[in-house]
Amino acid sequence: MRRKDLIVFLVVSLLLYGFLNGYILKRGLQAFSSQPVGRLLFVLVFSFLILSFPASRIINGQFNHPLSKILAIPGIYYLAFMFYFFLLIFLKDIIRWGCRLFSQQVKASSWLSVSNQGSFTAIMSLSLIIIFLGHLNATHPVVKTLRLQVNKMADGRTGLRAVMLSDIHLGMYNRSNRLEALVRKINELEPEIVFFAGDIVDEAIGAEEEERMVRLMKDIRAPLGLFACPGNHEYYGGLEKNISYLERAGVQELLDEALKVDGSFYLIGRKDWAAQRFGDGRASLQDIMAAGQIDPSLPIIVLDHQPIRLEEAQQAGVDLLLCGHTHAGQLFPLDIINRLIYEKNWGYLKKGQTHIYVTSGAGTWGPAVRTGSRSEMVLLELCFGPAKTN
C-alpha cells in the first residue's frame, strides 16, 4: 500500500474509532451521572478496552513484546463489542428523538432517557450476548457440500473430491489452535486435493505461530497436494515472507500460473487485485492460459481471492471459479452492504458453463465473531464428462 494511501486509511480509521468511542463514553457518563463510583469504574474499564487494540498493534510492531499478545485479545473483541454497543445506543437515541419529534415527553425515569442506568446496562449486556453467540458461530465452521457436473472429460478421471477454504487469517488474533481444528475437519473429509483461496495468514504472524502453522498444515492428507492463490492480506504482510511460510507447510502458491494436475485437469492461481497497489502486475486470465498452453478440452479450475469481474472466467472458458474475501459480510448489518458491492458476495452462481462459488471463509478478520454469516469450508464433489440422463 502506498504511503499516502496508508496515511489516509489510518487517519480515517482513527477518526471513526474516536467518534464511536466518544459517543459511547458520553452516554456512559450520562447514565452513571448519579453514581460516582460506578462512573469511575466505567471510565477505567472502557479506557483500558479502548486503548488495548491500538496499544497491542504499536507494541507488536515496534517492540515485539509479549505484552502485545496480552492486550490483543480484549482489544480485538472490543472492536466487535464497540460496533454493536454503538448501534444499540444509537437506536435508542433515534427512538428518543422520534418521540420528541412527535411531542412525546421523555421523562428522566424512562428507559429512553440518557440518564437511565438500567437501559444503558441492558444494552451493554445485550451487546455482550451478541458477541458471545457470534463467537460460537465463528469458531464452529460448517461443511458446505457442492456437487457439480463439469461437461468435459478428464483423461480417465471421472471425478474429483476436493476441499476448498479461504480467509483463515492466522496471525496475532486468530491463533493456530483454530487451524488445528480445521486440519482435523479437512482430514475427516478425505479430499484428494485442497484449495486455499487466499488470506491464509494475516499481516502480523509471529515466529512461534509460523512454526506451529507449518507443523499443523503438514498434517493435511491430500494425495494430489495443497494449492493456493494469494489474498490481499498476504500482500499486506509481505508476499515473499508469507509465501515462504506456506511453501514450508507444503502449500504450492500459484501466482498467475497454470498447472496441470494428475494429467487430468488444469489449476490456475491468480495474483490478488492488491498486487497492483504494491507495484506488481496482475496478468489477464487469457494471458495466463496462453502462457500455460492450456488444452481447453480438459477441465479448468481457477483460484482467485476476490470475486471481481466474474464474467472474465466465463469468457475464458473456465469450468470452476473459486473465490473468498467477502466473509459474506461477517457482521450484521455489514452483510447487507456486502451484497450491494459484489455481484455474488457468497454462495453458488453459474454464468454460462462456468460454475462459481464464493465462500464465506473458514475464519474471520479481526475478532472471531460472526453475526451476518457462518464460517464454512467447502467440500467439492466434481463429476467430469457429459451429464448422465435417465
Give the pLDDT of residue 68: 79
Do 248 and 222 meet the contact criterion of CB atoms below 8 Å apart? no
Q: Tell me the torsion sign for CA atoms 233, 239, 241, 247.
A: positive
Pairing of strands 251-253, 226-228: parallel
Residue with cell 452516554: 27
Q: How far apart are CA 354 and CA 352, in angstroms?
A: 6
**299-313: per-residue pLDDT in tens?**
999 999 999 999 999
Please tell me the distance from the alpha carbon of residue 159 to that of residue 219, in angstroms, as a whole number: 24
Looking at residue 217, its amino acid is M
With CA atoms as reference, report the closest residue to 367 among 112, 227, 178, 165. 178
Q: Which pLDDT band holds residue 217 (cuts at 50, 70, 90)?
A: very high
**Distance (Å) of CA 210 to CA 26, 49, 105, 242:** 42, 28, 59, 9
Q: What pLDDT sits at residue 139?
A: 92
Burial label, 177 (beta-carbon count in 10 A; 0-12, 13-18, 19+): exposed
Task: Choose the weakest-confidence range: 3-17, 83-97, 261-275.
Answer: 3-17
Contact 323, 339 (CB under 8 A): no
pLDDT at 1 over 60: no
Q: Can you tell me which residue has the cell 497454470?
A: 258
Strands 347-351 and 354-358 come out as antiparallel
Domains and CATH numbers, the chain: 3-137 (no CATH), 141-384 (3.60.21.10)
Nearest to 214 by CA among 183, 246, 253, 166: 246
pLDDT exceeds 60 at position 64:
yes
Residue 377: name the closest of 360, 355, 352 by CA.
Answer: 360
Q: How far apart are CA 321 and CA 307, in angstroms?
A: 9
Residue scoring higher pLDDT (165 or 13): 165
CB-based contacts of 103, cutoff 8 Å, min separation 6: none
Tell me the per-residue pLDDT of 152-174, one tens digit each, with 9 for 90 and over.
Answer: 999 889 999 999 999 999 877 77
